[in-house]
Amino acid sequence: MLIKQFENIMTSLDLRNLAAAGGNIIISATGFTALDLSNAATNGRHAKLKLTIKNAKQLSALDCRNIAAANPGNITFDFTE
């Protein structure tokens, strides 16, 4: 039996809604655009979202700055993977 795995089953809208609900999130940048991540950070700002972005090395420095500015002090970028 062949089992197909999907790299990313969460949509951008799912991510934004989860962030707005106040869930702290650890997510891979793979499968999301910088705009998706920035929007999630913005949506979670009032809920005090803590967002950790793994595989952040695929993002540009400008992308990282924009995401961080969307929710200052609450975004962690993991460049080790």
Q: How many Å separate Cα 6 from the centre of its chain? A: 18
pLDDT tens profile 10-65: 889 999 999 999 889 999 999 899 999 999 999 999 998 999 999 999 999 999 99
Q: What is residue 1's predicted lDDT score, i.e. its pLDDT? A: 43
Residue ranges covered by each domain of the chain: 13-77
pTM for the model stands at 0.84
Is the CA virtual torsion 30, 32, 38, 42 positive or negative?
negative
Residue of 48 and 70 predicted with greater confidence: 70
Residue of 69 and 5 predicted with greater confidence: 69
Confidence of residue 74 (pLDDT cuts 50, 70, 90): very high
- Asked if residues 71 and 45 have their Cβ atoms less than 8 Å apart, the reply is yes
